[in-house]
């Protein structure tokens, strides 16, 4: 969500590590049990909205309405919610740890509001949460999930999942904060039930149980068992709360999961967790990253003796995951290198380092890469058999997904009876939602 790491993945897609260093079907489709994917079925279209994107990128919830993406999505995953050292979901204004200002305190003017009405200081809910509520009012079938963790905020997951008591308390705190909407009081904002009805479920973004990483995330050999029990505890408590509210549809539960077989086996009892999860979103990117010394594909559909989308799907299916619950992750960004030598089309050649970019070296939004492609200074190259593309100007190379690649990937989803597509992240698309349109049309078979 959600970017993970394979070996030395210094850039992580569903995560904050890179970015915080700087600051299926029709509109209104039911996103519940009816969305199982497969031939003739509808598909989940899950897009990540980043909390921090409202600042430098100036990408507001209202932009999902303006660029047409809101009507094409079935789920919006809000990235991210954090886990405290004592194993609880929390929010507040803690630099690098929580941003209540963006979440529910910050007032939006009329121009940046989904409903075209400016926020007042008296209302208990403002910020992104209120805008998501307004977006759901426009699109009654749209579901919003709170995504917990990410690459930077998975630090305390292992502790939170360690014992039956810690799991029960952790889950209860997340349901209280996000599902019941009991937000901390922040001036006139927040209070009991202030965010009730905003979130329709929880996405677990623990990166990764049982595996060491490049951050301070704790891990233990028993994480695999404990993650299984944590998923079960979330399912139990979410279902119980739904029954207590006489809710017509259940609260959904999903997880972001890795590509690398070693990480799957270290942290995921696939058959057991899939019983309680409505779906999983598969890492479909960051197979290689700009921190590596040689250029390589980051999101190929097929690859011999390398990571790929097909390899990821196959790894999860062979371990017992139902195809209909597998949602393929798609990058709306690229990984880039500069100082590329060796000639040819630049792929598989040595490089001197990450390419200069707008927000962080080696990572660039699709909307910026499209401008490079359109400028004529970069040539678009394609591996049609592998199903991936890259830009190269003789010195700098960017590996990325464009509409043509996304058409191939969505066709793969349809032909293999998978559950849909996930996007990291929505703020990287063009102002007219070019990539989201390609995903939507592709899943419709257009």
Residue 152 lies in a domain: yes
Structurally, how many domains does the chain consist of?
1
Q: Which candidate in 35, 65, 134, 207 is catalytic?
A: 207
Other CB atoms within a 10 A radius of the CB of residue 305 amount to: 6
Give the model's pLDDT for residue 4.
39
Residue 349 lies in a domain: no
Predicted confidence (pLDDT) per residue in 379-423, tens digit: 999 999 999 999 999 999 999 999 999 999 999 999 999 999 999
Give the model's pLDDT for residue 26.
28
Cα 428-157-291 angle, rounded to 5 deg = 45
Check residue 248 and report its DSSP letter: S
User: Percentage of the chain with pLDDT > 90?
Assistant: 90
Residue 240 lies in a domain: yes
- 35 labelled catalytic: no
Residue 88 lies in a domain: yes
Residue 338 lies in a domain: no
Say how many Å lie between the first and final Cα of the chain, rounded: 27
Give the model's pLDDT for residue 22.
29
Q: Mean pLDDT for the chain?
A: 92
Give the model's pLDDT for residue 214.
79
Q: pLDDT band for 36, please (50, 70, 90 cuts).
A: very low
The helix or strand, by DSSP H or E, that contains position 437, with its residue range, turns out to be helix 434-444
Predicted confidence (pLDDT) per residue in 227-279, tens digit: 999 999 999 999 999 999 999 999 999 999 999 999 999 999 999 999 999 99
Q: pLDDT band for 316, please (50, 70, 90 cuts).
A: very high
- Has residue 29 got a pLDDT over 60? no
Residue range 285-293: average pLDDT?
A: 98
Residue 388 lies in a domain: no
- Has residue 10 got a pLDDT over 60? no
The pTM of the whole model exceeds 0.85: yes
Give the model's pLDDT for residue 213.
83
- Has residue 128 got a pLDDT over 60? yes
- Has residue 35 got a pLDDT over 80? no
Residue 369 lies in a domain: no
Residue 347 lies in a domain: no
Q: pLDDT band for 215, please (50, 70, 90 cuts).
A: confident
Q: State the angle between helix axes of 366-375 and 434-444 in degrees (0 to 180), rounded to the nearest 10.
A: 100
Give the model's pLDDT for residue 99.
98
Strands (E), 248-393: 252-257, 279-282, 326-331, 333-338, 353-354, 363-365, 379-383, 388-392
Task: CATH number of the domain at 108, please.
Answer: 3.20.20.80
- Has residue 15 got a pLDDT over 50? no
Q: How many CA atoms lie within 13 A of 295 on its CB side?
A: 30
The residue length of the chain stands at 446
Range of the domain at 103: 44-332+402-444
Q: pLDDT band for 135, please (50, 70, 90 cuts).
A: very high
Predicted confidence (pLDDT) per residue in 61-84, tens digit: 999 999 999 999 999 999 999 999
Residue range 200-222: average pLDDT?
A: 95
Other CB atoms within a 10 A radius of the CB of residue 339 amount to: 14
Q: For residues 149 and 177, what is the distance between their CA atoms, to the nearest angstrom?
A: 15
Q: pLDDT band for 7, please (50, 70, 90 cuts).
A: very low
CB 313 within 8 A of CB 387: no
Q: pLDDT band for 27, please (50, 70, 90 cuts).
A: very low
Cα 346-403-12 angle, rounded to 5 deg = 65
Residue range 4-12: average pLDDT?
A: 36
């Amino acid at each position: 969500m959600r970017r993970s790491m394979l070996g030395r993945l210094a850039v992580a897609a569903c995560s904050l590590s890179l970015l915080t260093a700087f600051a299926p079907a029709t509109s209104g489709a039911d996103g519940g049990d009816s969305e199982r994917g497969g031939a003739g079925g509808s598909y989940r279209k899950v897009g990540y909205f980043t909390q921090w994107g409202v600042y430098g990128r100036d990408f507001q919830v209202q932009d999902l309405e303006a660029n047409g993406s809101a009507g094409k999505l079935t789920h919006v995953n809000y990235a991210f919610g954090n886990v405290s050292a004592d194993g609880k979901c929390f929010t507040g204004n803690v630099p690098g740890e929580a941003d209540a200002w963006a979440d529910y305190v910050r007032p939006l003017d009329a121009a940046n509001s989904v409903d075209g009405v400016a926020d007042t200081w008296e209302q208990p809910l403002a910020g992104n949460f209120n805008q998501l509520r307004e977006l759901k009012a426009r699109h009654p079938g749209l579901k919003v999930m709170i995504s917990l963790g990410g690459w930077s905020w998975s630090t305390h997951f292992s502790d939170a999942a360690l014992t039956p008591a810690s799991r029960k308390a952790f889950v209860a705190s997340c349901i209280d904060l996000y599902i019941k909407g009991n937000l901390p009081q922040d001036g006139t904002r927040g209070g009991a039930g202030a965010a009730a009805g905003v979130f329709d479920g929880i996405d677990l973004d623990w990166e990764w149980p049982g595996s060491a990483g490049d951050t301070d995330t704790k891990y233990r050999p028993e994480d695999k068992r404990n993650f299984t029990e944590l998923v079960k505890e979330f399912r139990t408590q979410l279902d119980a709360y739904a029954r207590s509210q006489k809710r017509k549809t259940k609260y959904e539960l999903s997880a972001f999961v890795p590509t690398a077989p070693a990480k799957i086996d270290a942290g995921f009892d696939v058959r057991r967790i899939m019983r309680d999860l409505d779906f999983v979103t598969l890492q479909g990117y960051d197979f290689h990253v700009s921190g590596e010394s040689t250029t390589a594909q980051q999101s190929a559909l097929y690859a011999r003796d390398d990571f790929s989308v097909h390899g990821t799907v196959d790894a999860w299916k062979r371990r017992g995951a139902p195809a209909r619950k597998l949602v393929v992750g798609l990058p709306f960004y690229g990984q880039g290198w500069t100082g590329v030598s060796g000639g040819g089309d630049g792929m598989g050649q040595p490089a001197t380092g990450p390419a200069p970019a707008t927000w962080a070296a080696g990572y660039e939004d699709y909307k910026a890469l499209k401008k490079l492609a359109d400028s004529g200074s970069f040539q678009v190259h394609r591996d049609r058999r592998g199903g991936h593309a890259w830009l190269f100007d003789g010195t700098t190379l960017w590996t990325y997904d464009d509409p043509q690649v996304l058409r191939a990937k969505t066709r793969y989803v349809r032909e293999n009876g998978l559950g849909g597509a996930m996007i990291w992240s929505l703020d990287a698309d063009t102002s007219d939602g070019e990539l989201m349109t390609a995903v939507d049309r592709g899943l419709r078979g257009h």
